[in-house]
A and B are shown apart, each in its own frame.
Chain A
């Protein structure tokens, strides 16, 4: 047993241990799984962090790009405005409608400023340039550059003002429309570009002009001045530099001029296009632009003419210088041809020449003088002709120039006149508009006054009418209201009365109902108790009487203590039935059958005949006499019917037919010993009959009462 226990313990221990090992493994697995799960958890955490970081970064980037999104994020996510402010800086102003105008209004002034700055800077630059370029040679020719500077500055300011005008005009009319805006923008653009180009061209032309004049002066100097030979080469070098300058400047001027022309053409085309739009608000802009264009064209033309004149002068001077150079060279060649070893610089050769050379030279000189004298005489002769021809040429040229100038001046004047006209037209239109507006205003004022008066009068009338109508309606309403309220009151009293009457009726009905119900209940109860009593009569078995009727009778008595009849009846119950109960008819019948034979046997025995011999005789009689078992009793009994045998057969018949009462009556007619023998039975029968009668009476009474209490539908 101990071994078995030990074995069992071992087994359980092993099992447990095994289980624990398993669980340990499981734990280990859990640990390892935990480790792996730890690694997995770290991965998950890392992934989560990455996702979150990516989300935040993406949000910030998108907020940077889209301000609405930024606003939405700031509204919905708390502390995001702090984060976004940290990351992106304060949010830029929203592009709403009220701010739009400000922005746009701010723009033209800024543009203006920009333009003015730009153009000012440009002009300053140009001016500086123009100032710088003559600054290198300021001393000889300060006036002309200054003049040109002034002119340039004047033109620059003119153009600047034009630009500023142009840019100032669109700003207030900004509300007109996109077309106007577009037009103004294009006009501005083209104006600025053309202004720039024109300025550039003018500057270039000025520079060219200056270069030309400088060159010319230098040339003149070089021609006329008597300077020592070493400076001469420097001078010539300067001259060459000046020439290079001039050519360069002239080229620049030409390119600038072409550019300016291009720009002006484009401006013209833009102006034409905008004119073609036929928008009324554009007209002042167009006008201003046209004026500016005209001014620029005029300036440009002026400068170009100046340059041309300078060029022509320079041409003359250069021609003269060329001639002089040519003559000098000719002379040099001649001299060198005569005396090859003599150098060009003949002025310092006094001690070097031989007498032959001198003679040759003098002869050559004489000859040259003769030739020159002859040429001079010829020239003097031809002078007039030449002069006339030159004059003619000059006239022609002058004519041409005049025509050209006239035509340009005419164009300019036409343009100016047209512009003036347009300006005047616009002014007039404005004036007319203003006047029209004042007139209309006056008219409107008059109209409003009139309307006011009329309205006042109408108001009065309407008020009177309305008040009348109101009063009549009010009266009507009052009367109707009073009527209605009276009616209502009457109706109400009527209803109240009827309701009260009905209430009373209902109360009475209910009371009577209650009473009737009480009666009904009592009748019901009586009936029930009577039924119970009736039922107790049925409890009689074969030979056992019924249960004592005391309880049921008491119940009946209880349930009818206000009905004397019932009380009397219930007290009429025979005592025997109350205490002992009664026999049923069936038992009586059965008893009677047995009694009958007995009664038959003692039929002859009475008070006087009661010896044993009589007994024997009566027995004999009973044995020998046969009568009907059952015979229907006649309606009336005669003396023969009083025979016991007959009576018994009648009684039997009655009993068989359920008429206990008649049977009892008939049995009551028995005399003598037979009677004594059936005395019991008779009393029992009487008892039963009595009880039954009482019960039937009670039930009839209960039924009657019940019927009486039921309500006919």
Chain B
């Protein structure tokens, strides 16, 4: 169980890194392609990526505490 924390962190970081880099890449690409090499898509992309990663990481860490409820319709 203790390992999971570590594993989570690994995943998290890896994921974040990947996402960031991907975002960066997409940003760069967009910036290059569409936005005439402006920096804002790169930072957007990286930011998007980072944010996504962070959100995933957080979700991953929160997952044990999340309660998945279902709406039970009457009748």
Contact = CB atoms under 8 A, between A and B. Distances in A.
B39 interface: no
Interface string A668-687: 00000000111111000000
B68 interface: no
A655 to B, nearest CB: 16
Counting chain A CB atoms within 10 Å of each CB, which of B2, B58, B61 scores highest?
B2
Interface in A567-607: 591, 594-595, 598, 602, 605-607
Interface string B19-58: 0000000000000000000000000000000000010011
Contact of A615 (B2, B6, B61): B61
A309 interface: no
Nearest to A597: B2
Contacts of B1: 676-681
A594 B1 CA distance: 12
B2 A612 contact: no
Query: What range describes how many residues of B lie at the interface?
Result: 10 to 19
B65 A598 contact: no
Contacts of A611: 58, 62
B64 A676 contact: yes
Contacts of B57: 612
Nearest to A605: B61
Nearest to A610: B62
B5 interface: yes
Contacts of A681: 1-2
A612 B54 contact: yes
A607 B64 CA distance: 9
B4 to A, nearest CB: 8
A595 B62 contact: no
By secondary structure, the B interface counts as helix
Contacts of B58: 610-612
Given A598-B6, A607-B65, A680-B1, 20 more contacts: A591-B2, A595-B2, A598-B2, A602-B5, A610-B61, A610-B62, A610-B65, A612-B54, A612-B57, A612-B58, A612-B61, A615-B61, A676-B1, A676-B64, A677-B1, A677-B2, A677-B5, A678-B2, A679-B1, A681-B1
Contacts of A677: 1-2, 5
Interface string A320-360: 00000000000000000000000000000000000000000
Contacts of A615: 61
A232 to B, nearest CB: 207
Contacts, number: 33
Contacts of A605: 61
A598 B5 contact: yes
A677 B5 CA distance: 7
Nearest to A592: B2
Nearest to B62: A610
A594 B54 contact: no
A591 B65 CA distance: 25
16 contacts: A594-B2, A598-B2, A602-B5, A610-B58, A610-B61, A610-B62, A610-B65, A611-B58, A612-B57, A612-B58, A676-B1, A677-B2, A677-B5, A678-B1, A679-B1, A680-B2
A420 to B, nearest CB: 173
Contacts of B6: 598
A595 to B, nearest CB: 5
Closest 5 CB pairs of A and B: A680-B1, A607-B65, A612-B58, A610-B62, A598-B2
Nearest to A684: B1
Interface in B1-21: 1-2, 5-6
A37 B65 CA distance: 129
Nearest to B9: A615
Nearest to A602: B5
Nearest to B64: A676
Contacts of B65: 606-607, 610
Interface in A80-101: none
A678 B1 CA distance: 7
Nearest to A611: B58
Nearest to A608: B65
Nearest to B6: A598
Nearest to B67: A607
Interface in A18-34: none
**Most chain B CB neighbours (cut-off 10 Å) among A591, A594, A615, A678:** A615
B54 to A, nearest CB: 6
Contacts of B64: 676
A612 B50 CA distance: 13
Nearest to A679: B1
A490 to B, nearest CB: 90
Interface string A183-223: 00000000000000000000000000000000000000000
